[in-house]
Structure 1
Amino acid sequence: MSLETVVWQKDHLTILNHQQLPNKISFENLFNIEQVWQSINFLKVAGDEDICLVAGYGLALWAHSKHSNQLPLFLDEFEQQSLYLATSMNSLSFHQFLKRLVASVQKATNVKEAKEIALSEVYLQQKNWDLMWENLGLHTVQLFKNEQNILFINATNRSPNPVLSIVHQAKQKGISLHPYFLGEHDENLTLIKVKLKNLQLTTSWIKQNHLHSNIISAVLLCFNALDHDLQPLFPEGSYDLAKLAYENEIPIYVIAPTAPSRYYKDSVYMHEYVPFDYIDGFITDAGLGDYNHFISHYKEIQQGLILY
C-alpha cells in the first residue's frame, strides 16, 4: 500500500511513528539496534508484521556494522542481540520470528554470508507477506460488486493488512468498496484510518444494533489465533456480532491469512468460538473455501511446502 510504514535504507531504517497518529504523519530514522528496541517497546511501530520487520532489519543493521571475521563470535553476538530485541515486546509470534531469523543466519559459512542472510531473510519475509496479502485481497474482491458496504470486525492496528489489502485491490480493479467499522473512537483503528485516508477512502461507522442487510452487504471477520486443535479463536464479542449478522442474513467471511507466525494462542487476549454455521467461507491467499480448505493450506505452509 502506498503509505510505507517500514523502509530499509541500507545504513538505517525508516518507520512511520505510530505515536504521532492521527494528528501527524511523522517518519523516524533508526540507525542502531538500541533505537530499534525503543521503537518497538515505546509502541512507535504498530502491526504484528511491521514489528517483526523492524526487529529483523534492526538485526541486519547491527550485523552490517560489525567488522569481525570470526564467525563463531559473530553468530554468538547476533543471537545475543536477538535476545535483547526479544525483551522489547512480550509476543510469542514475535519471538518465534526472531528465532527463525537466528537459525537461518547460523547456517552461514563465513561472516560475509551471515550478514547477507540477515538482510535477505528479512527482505524475503517482507516480500512473501506482501504477496500473501495481495493474493488474499484479490480473492476477497471477487466476492463483491461496486459500491457495496463491507463491515470489518476485529480489524485493529495490530493487524491492519486485512482491511488495507482488500480495499487496495478493489481500488486497483476499479471497484468501490466502502469499509465500515464498529466503534468510531476506537484507538485500535488509528493506523487503519490514516492509511485509508491516504488511499482517499472514507471510513464509516455503524452501531451494532443497526446491523442489517439494508446497510451492510457482508461482514469480514478477522481472527488472531488457533487453539491446540486448530480451531479458530476470535476476540471477545465476536460470537454476538456473528450471530446478529447471521440472523440478519448478512454473509460472513473469515479473513484467514495462513502465514505461520500469525497463529499462536496468546493468553493476554480473551478468545471465543464462532459456530461454522454462521460462516459462509474462509478467505485465504489461496482462495475461498470452507474450514478444511483453510486448514489444509495452513498445514502446507507449516510443513514448508509453501513459503510465507
Structure 2
Amino acid sequence: MTVKQDFIKPVIWEGESIKLLNQQKLPGSVEYIFLTTAEDVWDAIVELKVRGAPAIGITAAYGLALWAKNSEAETTEELLQSLKKTADYLNSARPTAVNLAWALHRLVRVAEQQSTIPSIKGKLELEAIAIQREDEETCRLIGENGYSLLPEGANVLTHCNTGAIATSKYGTALGAFYIAKERGNEIHVYATETRPVLQGARLTAWELQQADIDVTLITDNMAAHVLKTKNIDAIIVGADRITANGDTANKIGTYGLALLAKAHDIPFYIAAPLSTIDLDTATGEDIVIEERKAEEVTHLGGQRIAPEGVQVFNPSFDVTPNELITAIITEKGVIRGDYQQELQKLF
C-alpha cells in the first residue's frame, strides 16, 4: 500500500523574498514570515526561526542570492568582495552545522566563475534553487536507505527534529518514518522532548502527528527506561556535522543516547546527507560547540524556574564518537565499518 503525503515546506523562494515557516511559533500556530535582507536571514538562523542543518543551508543560500540581487555594486570585483563578506556574516550565525558553510561556499564558487554582474546575480539564484531541489531527492534517498534497516512494525526512538520542516522534504532521520508510512509499515516512534528549546516536543511530535505517524513523546531523562522496557528496535538521529573519522555532532543528548544504545545492545544510526560530512575536520575534538543563552535553562514559558544568579552551562550539541555509531545512513547508501575509509569513498 502506498500513501500519498503532503509536506509542509519550511523554506519557499518568492523571488524578491524568502517565505519562511517560523518554527518558534510551532506547534501553537503555523506562521510564515518574509525575509528580505541578509540581516533578516542571520536573525532567523540565530533565533531558530529556521533550524535543521539542511534547511539552514537552503535559507542561507537564498539569503545570499537575495542580497546579491539587491546589491548596487558597480563592478564584478566589488560585487564578489562584498558577496564574500556577506557569506562570512551569514556563516557566523551557527558555528556547528556544516551545511551552512557548505551552501554559502557553493554559491561563492559559482559567483567566482561568472564574468558579469547580471550573470553573477542570475546564477546565484539558480544555484540556491538547485540546492533546495537536490535536498528533496537527497532526503528521499536517505529515507529509503533508513527504512531498509527497520523491521515491520518497528519501535524506533529519535531525538530532536530531523523531518520535513528541518530540510526541504522528508527529512533525514524522520525520512525513514515517512517512507514507512508510504509503504504501509505502521511503525511506532518515541520522540524525546530534546533540550534546548524542546524541539522534539514542539516540532517532531507535531510533525509526525500531521503525517498520522504513531508517536509517543518522552522526556530526555526517560530514554534509558524506554530502551529497557519498550522493545526498541533502533535509534535514528540526524547530524549537524560528521567529521572525517565518523565522529558526529548532533543535538545535545545524542551522545548519551548512543551510550544507552550500546548498553542495551540496540542499533544506533546517524542519518545525514553528504553535505553534512566534513572531511576537512579530522575528529569530533575539532568541532566548535555552540552554547546558547542561559534563559533557555533558567526560564520556562517566560517564567523563571531557577534561582537568580545561578551559573548555567547550555551547549546545544555534543559529539558522539564513531565507535558508538552502528551505521551512517546517507543518500549514497548505508556506511559501516572503518568510517575513515568508507566516508572518503563517498566523495
- Using the size of structure 1 for normalisation, the TM-score is 0.81
1:295 CA displacement: 4.9
**Do the aligned partners of 1:170 and 1:176 also contact (CA within 8 Å) in 2?**
yes
Tell me which amino acid in the other structure corresponds to 2:110.
S
Q: Distance in 2 between matches of 1:248 and 1:76?
A: 53
Which residue among 72, 82, 103 is the counterpart of 2:77? Answer: 72
Query: Quick one: structure 1 residues 205 and 215, their matched pair in 2 at CA, closer, same or farther if it must change by over 3 Å?
Result: farther
Tell me which amino acid in the other structure corresponds to 2:191.
F
Tell me which amino acid in the other structure corresponds to 2:209.
K
Q: How many residues align?
A: 297
Residue 203 of structure 1 pairs with residue 251 of structure 2: no
1:287 CA displacement: 2.5
Residue number in structure 1 paired with 2:289 = 267
Residue number in structure 1 paired with 2:173 = 163
Q: Which shows bigger deviation, 133-142 or 31-40?
A: 31-40
**Do the aligned partners of 2:23 and 2:50 also contact (CA within 8 Å) in 1?**
yes
Residue number in structure 1 paired with 2:204 = 192
Percent sequence identity is: 22
Q: Distance in 1 between matches of 2:48 and 2:116?
A: 35
Residue number in structure 2 paired with 1:152 = 158
Residue number in structure 1 paired with 2:247 = 232
Tell me which amino acid in the other structure corresponds to 1:266.
V
Q: Distance in 1 between matches of 2:118 and 2:75?
A: 10
Which residue among 137, 140, 143 is the counterpart of 1:131? Answer: 137
Query: Quick one: structure 1 residues 283 and 295, their matched pair in 2 at CA, closer, same or farther if it must change by over 3 Å?
Result: farther
**Do the aligned partners of 1:223 and 1:232 also contact (CA within 8 Å) in 2?**
no
Residue number in structure 1 paired with 2:272 = 257
CA RMSD, 1 decimal: 3.2
**Do the aligned partners of 1:59 and 1:78 also contact (CA within 8 Å) in 2?**
yes
Q: Which shows bigger deviation, 203-212 or 180-189?
A: 180-189
Q: Distance in 2 between matches of 1:247 and 1:259?
A: 29
Deviations 1:181-221 (A, max 9, x none): 23488713122223212212242145222323753222225
**Do the aligned partners of 1:286 and 1:297 also contact (CA within 8 Å) in 2?**
no
Tell me which amino acid in the other structure corresponds to 1:286.
K
1:27 CA displacement: 0.7
Tell me which amino acid in the other structure corresponds to 2:232.
I
Deviations 1:84-110 (A, max 9, x none): 323434446234532332122111011
1:56 CA displacement: 1.1
- Using the size of structure 2 for normalisation, the TM-score is 0.73
Q: Find the residue that maps to 1:15 and give its secondary structure.
A: strand
Query: Quick one: structure 1 residues 23 and 173, their matched pair in 2 at CA, closer, same or farther if it must change by over 3 Å?
Result: same
1:178 CA displacement: 1.5
Deviations 1:40-72 (A, max 9, x none): 233211112212211211121222234666322
Q: Find the residue that maps to 2:174 and give its secondary structure.
A: helix
Residue 291 of structure 1 pairs with residue 297 of structure 2: no
Q: Find the residue that maps to 2:173 and give its secondary structure.
A: helix
**Do the aligned partners of 2:162 and 2:174 also contact (CA within 8 Å) in 1?**
no
**Do the aligned partners of 1:179 and 1:203 also contact (CA within 8 Å) in 2?**
yes
